[in-house]
A and B are shown apart, each in its own frame.
Chain A
Amino acid sequence: MKIVPLLLYIVSGVAYAVHFARRDPGVGRMATMALLVAAMAHTFVVGMQTMELHHIPFASLPTVVSTFVWLLALSYLYLEITTEERTMGVFILPIVVALQTLSVLSPGVENADPVLDSPWFWVHVASLLCAYASFALAGMLGLTYMLQFKEIKKKHLGYLYNRLPSLMTLDTMNSRAMTVGWVFLTIGVTVGVIWTAQARAVAPNDPNLRAMSLEDPKIFVAALTWVVYSFAIFARTRLGWTGRRAAWLAAVGFAIVLLNLLPIGYFVETSHTFQ
């Protein structure tokens, strides 16, 4: 079932690559169409899983990755449609395909802990996933900015230079993605804090809940992420850190997000869990 969106993402990815290479607008439109269809199929899959589990699928590695990919695809589509800039597709789709492949191939049993049924929890996880998806985009945009900047600075006006968007466009997209991400991150973290406080009031001796402090690696890294992006937005608006500096911050933030999503989630099984 999860394979259908994956196949469609692959088709879309190939189309974006051809569009990038040949700058053929017809192929570009096809790529967007394919991605839209893939996103719809993925929405259907997520919907089915939600009905089955009675909550958004996020409590095992394969499902959280799949939900993340779904949000990433939607965020990218939003960015592409509002800026009318298709070139980034060739960089984003490989990530989408790689992650969705990971999701399809990895084993994992969905956690059935009743605490997961709390709506606070849904909002918490959904917000964070949205945030991470936006940050992933911002990170890619930052890297692309740095690439294009180098091409122009070094006067290598070649293959990439001709196809990548202008520095200003990349910077604007970066700013947008970062701001959206920060809003969702703030919501997600705030909700998490409120929910933990509430749950603790009800079950003060639950060891899992007690462990939810800044000592928990996942929570620590999330706080660090919030600080980094808050600084990035502050620096952009107050210090004039646009362009290359903003790009660098976006890339760093993205690296931290990846850290939180995969290695910590995969390897450090005792943190932030309900088992």
Chain B
Amino acid sequence: MHVFLLGVSHQTAPIDVRERLDFSSRDVGAAVETLAARYSAGEAVVLSTCNRSEIYVASDDPERARRELIEFLGSYHQLPAEAFEAHVFVRADEEASRHLFRVAAGLDSLVVGEPQILGQVKDAFQVAAARQCAGPVLTRLFHTSFGVGKRVRSETALGEGAVSVGFAAVALARKIFGRLEGRGVLVVGAGEISTLTAQHLRAQGVGAITITSRTAAHAEALAAEVDGRAIPWTDMRGALAAADIVITATGSPRPILTRGDIEAVTGRRRSEPLFIIDIAVPRDVEAAVGEIEQVFLYNVDDLQAVVQENLSRRSSEIGRAEAIVAEEVERFSAWRRSRGAVPTVVALRQRFEQIRRAELQRLESKLGGLTPEARASVDEVTRLIVEKLLLAPTAQLKALPDEETQIAYTEAVNRLFELRDDTPVSPAGEEMDTERPNRTRS
């Protein structure tokens, strides 16, 4: 059973191709069910985000899977294959697992180390699992990927440090004020970044958010979004007194807050710090304000510098993250190999059991005279002999170091023991319990 991946991502396809192949707006669950039912795959998971649409299947025939998946994508999205085939990438087995693990770790994201992707991978798997479309191989693959995401997050600094201006501002606020509960925020000018920053602050549990803008409607809109209060533009200076954090982002060509304005406020604040985030270009706050002792004044350049610093720190963590991915890829491959031996092991076990039963049956006449306990003992002894004989070969077959050796050995075992090709095994979805011996009926 092979793992096969086919998809498009921001690395291989422009947005117009990606948006036509996007699954999010449609029912991902239905797509997964269609895949699992109709095609050679018994297992399928669809991962669809704004930056990628990827289909993971477990299949015995990767070549056939490729053709089928292209056909599926075309028919599902009503597109001719030529429209997207050139942008599609495929991976199989080890490379497929490496790709998924890198994605889950945030290594394949636009912003390296971003946290949402792991949740998105988990959701994609949940959808498939809920529809019974995730069998043993993909279940193991995705669970391992969750582990990779977790390991990278805890063992490296790949996801650390704010990498957007809004988050950087909030991180700073927390370094100054500790917990943000009860802190007052004043937003002057309701633009995109000030909106985002206000939202982040609200999410962090900040106290009252007061918003003012030359356009009252903008202030009202933002106030509604972040559970704040809009005030008239003329009341701005009065509102400064209650603010611990001030965000300014107006389009004004000259500064709207002077040193005098701020000094009027800091007198009353005693030694309490005042954090001013001036996102506007041209700046809204006079540079001299930064010289006031308890004021921390950060403009957009300063925040960008923080973001850049964090991004470069993340890049230096990439090596470690890749090492973790490589480790887990190896572990998954070993598991897959051990699984590959399962049909043969099962067949061998069944053959041995067949022989054991047959022989006991043949000796029925001689065994008939024994007491039930004696018969049970005989049954037990023969069962134990079979178990012991199988112990070493089972372990060995499952622990072979690479695919070729495994194929060679299972071939050899099939041949040596004349195990038929169509020896009955469990259905594809069921994990065979080859570790524990068959229990005696008692």
Interface positions of A from 240 to 273, Cβ below 8 Å from B = 240-246
Q: Is the CB of A243 within 8 A of B177?
A: no
Q: A152-B176, A155-B302, A167-B176 are in contact. Are A243 and B294 (CB under 8 A)?
A: yes
Q: Does B306 contact A (CB under 8 A)?
A: yes
Q: A239-B270, A244-B271 are in contact. Are A166 and B176 (CB under 8 A)?
A: yes
Interface positions of A from 153 to 203, Cβ below 8 Å from B = 153, 155, 157-158, 161-162, 165-169, 172
Encoded as 1 (CB less than 8 Å from any B CB) or 0, chain A from 86 to 122 comes to 0000000000000000000000000000000000000
A243→B176 CA distance, assembly (Å): 10
Encoded as 1 (CB less than 8 Å from any A CB) or 0, chain B from 173 to 201 comes to 01111110000000000000000000000
Q: Is the CB of B309 within 8 A of A157?
A: yes
CB distance from A178 to the nearest CB of B (A): 15
Q: Is the CB of B175 within 8 A of A167?
A: yes
Residues in chain A near residue B176, CB distance under 8 A: 152, 166-168
Encoded as 1 (CB less than 8 Å from any B CB) or 0, chain A from 216 to 243 comes to 0000000000000000000000011111
- A-B interface, 9 closest residue pairs, ranked by CB to CB distance from nearest: A240-B270, A168-B178, A166-B178, A243-B271, A242-B271, A169-B178, A166-B175, A168-B177, A167-B176
A168→B272 CA distance, assembly (Å): 9
Residues in chain B near residue A240, CB distance under 8 A: 270-272
Q: Which residue of B lies closest to A236 (CB)?
A: B271
Q: Does B296 contact A (CB under 8 A)?
A: yes
CB distance from A19 to the nearest CB of B (A): 14
Residues in chain A near residue B272, CB distance under 8 A: 240, 242-243
- Majority DSSP secondary structure for residues of B touching A: mixed
> Which of B172, B175, B293, B309 has the most chain A CB atoms inside 10 A of its CB?
B175
Q: Does B136 contact A (CB under 8 A)?
A: no
Pick the contact of B273 from A158, A239, A243, A246 — CB < 8 Å? A243
A162→B270 CA distance, assembly (Å): 27
Interface size on A, residues (CB 8 A): 22
Q: Does B298 contact A (CB under 8 A)?
A: yes
A243→B293 CA distance, assembly (Å): 11
**Given A166-B176, A242-B271, A244-B293, 7 more pairs with CB closer than 8 A:** A153-B296, A157-B306, A166-B174, A167-B175, A168-B176, A243-B273, A245-B271
Residues in chain A near residue B306, CB distance under 8 A: 155, 157
Interface positions of B from 264 to 317, Cβ below 8 Å from A = 270-273, 293-294, 296, 298, 302, 305-306, 309
Pick the contact of B270 from A155, A167, A242 — CB < 8 Å? A242
Q: Is the CB of B298 within 8 A of A155?
A: yes
Residues in chain B near residue A157, CB distance under 8 A: 172, 306, 309
Encoded as 1 (CB less than 8 Å from any A CB) or 0, chain B from 156 to 185 comes to 000001000000000010111111000000
Q: Is the CB of A167 within 8 A of B273?
A: yes
CB distance from B152 to the nearest CB of A (A): 15
A241→B296 CA distance, assembly (Å): 18
Chain B residues with CB under 8 Å of chain A are 161, 172, 174-179, 270-273, 293-294, 296, 298, 302, 305-306, 309
A240→B266 CA distance, assembly (Å): 12
> What's the count of A-B pairs with C-beta under 8 Å?
51
CB distance from B115 to the nearest CB of A (A): 17
CB distance from A5 to the nearest CB of B (A): 33
Q: Which residue of B lies closest to A22 (CB)?
A: B157
A152→B297 CA distance, assembly (Å): 10
A246→B294 CA distance, assembly (Å): 13
> Which of A157, A166, A240 has the most chain B CB atoms inside 10 A of its CB?
A157
A242→B273 CA distance, assembly (Å): 10
Residues in chain A near residue B175, CB distance under 8 A: 148, 152, 161, 166-167
Q: Which residue of B lies closest to A172 (CB)?
A: B178
8 contacts between A and B (CB under 8 A): A161-B175, A162-B161, A166-B178, A167-B178, A168-B177, A168-B178, A172-B178, A241-B271
A167→B272 CA distance, assembly (Å): 10
A65→B240 CA distance, assembly (Å): 51
A17→B107 CA distance, assembly (Å): 30
Q: Which residue of B lies closest to A151 (CB)?
A: B175
A109→B121 CA distance, assembly (Å): 69
A243→B296 CA distance, assembly (Å): 13
Residues in chain B near residue A162, CB distance under 8 A: 161
Q: Which residue of B lies closest to A235 (CB)?
A: B271
Residues in chain B near residue A161, CB distance under 8 A: 175
CB distance from A52 to the nearest CB of B (A): 46
A139→B438 CA distance, assembly (Å): 70
A244→B176 CA distance, assembly (Å): 12
Residues in chain B near residue A153, CB distance under 8 A: 296
CB distance from B156 to the nearest CB of A (A): 11
Residues in chain B near residue A243, CB distance under 8 A: 271-273, 294
Residues in chain B near residue A158, CB distance under 8 A: 309
Q: Is the CB of A166 within 8 A of B309?
A: no
Q: Which residue of B lies closest to A165 (CB)?
A: B178
CB distance from B310 to the nearest CB of A (A): 9
Residues in chain A near residue B296, CB distance under 8 A: 152-153
CB distance from B82 to the nearest CB of A (A): 50
Residues in chain B near residue A244, CB distance under 8 A: 271, 293-294
A251→B117 CA distance, assembly (Å): 47
CB distance from A167 to the nearest CB of B (A): 5
A241→B294 CA distance, assembly (Å): 12
CB distance from A241 to the nearest CB of B (A): 6
Residues in chain B near residue A166, CB distance under 8 A: 174-178
Q: Which residue of A lies closest to B295 (CB)?
A: A153
CB distance from A160 to the nearest CB of B (A): 11
Residues in chain B near residue A246, CB distance under 8 A: 271
Q: Is the CB of B178 within 8 A of A155?
A: no
CB distance from B387 to the nearest CB of A (A): 42
CB distance from A147 to the nearest CB of B (A): 13
CB distance from A149 to the nearest CB of B (A): 9
Residues in chain B near residue A172, CB distance under 8 A: 178
Q: Which residue of A lies closest to B177 (CB)?
A: A168
A169→B179 CA distance, assembly (Å): 9
Residues in chain A near residue B172, CB distance under 8 A: 152, 157
Encoded as 1 (CB less than 8 Å from any B CB) or 0, chain A from 136 to 155 comes to 00000000000010001101
Interface positions of A from 35 to 63, Cβ below 8 Å from B = none
Q: Which residue of A lies closest to B157 (CB)?
A: A23
